[in-house]
Amino acid sequence: MTLLYSNYSGEDYLISFGGYNGRYSNEVYALKLSVKLDLQSSTKDQPTSDSTSRVLEPEVEISQDGKIREIAMDNADSKNRNDEANEQLLAALKAEKDELEATLNREGLQTVQLKEEITEAEARNAELTKELQAVRG
């Protein structure tokens, strides 16, 4: 199974796909990450001004029992962590790319050497075939 973390339009997502559980799976699951808080309903009853409630409405979802179920947070700290994680991922990918390119170059050299050996073996085979035919007369 492959597990991937991504940030898209300020929203954090956890994506999983593939895997093997008795048979191979190509299903994809995407989960929207959020912070869960259980606050007493008195928090909901506190008076707020219209401007404050307009700012909080898109960020807070209040259930029927008065508890806050989800708060989507996008602060500078998480952006810094995302930037650091992206930089680490980029560095790892560059290192892997360099390693793969070096391996590809080694394989290319080995391919050229093997082709030369095949050419030499075919030439030697042709010479031996001519000698055999000459001996057989």
Q: Which of 78, 61, 97, 60 is CA-nearest to residue 5?
A: 78
- Whether residue 50 is predicted with pLDDT greater than 80 in this model: the reply is no
pLDDT above 90 coverage of the chain, percent: 34
Per-residue pLDDT band for 37 (boundaries 50, 70, 90) equals low
* Contact status, residue 69 vs residue 36, Cβ threshold 8 Å: yes
So what's the pLDDT on residue 106?
96
pTM above 0.75, yes or no: no
Ramachandran angles phi, psi of 49, nearest 5°: -75, 165
Ramachandran angles phi, psi of 87, nearest 5°: -65, -40
Mean pLDDT over 97-123 rounds to 96
Where in the chain are the domains?
A: 1-33, 75-137
Residue-wise pLDDT for 51-65, tens only, equals 444 443 444 444 455
Burial class of residue 7 (count of CB atoms within 10 Å of its CB; 0-12, 13-18, 19+)? middle
* Contact status, residue 73 vs residue 35, Cβ threshold 8 Å: yes
Tokens of 31: 């989960």
Tokens of 8: 């898209």
* Contact status, residue 28 vs residue 17, Cβ threshold 8 Å: yes
Residue with tokens 């807070």: 60
Query: What SS3 class is residue 33?
Result: coil
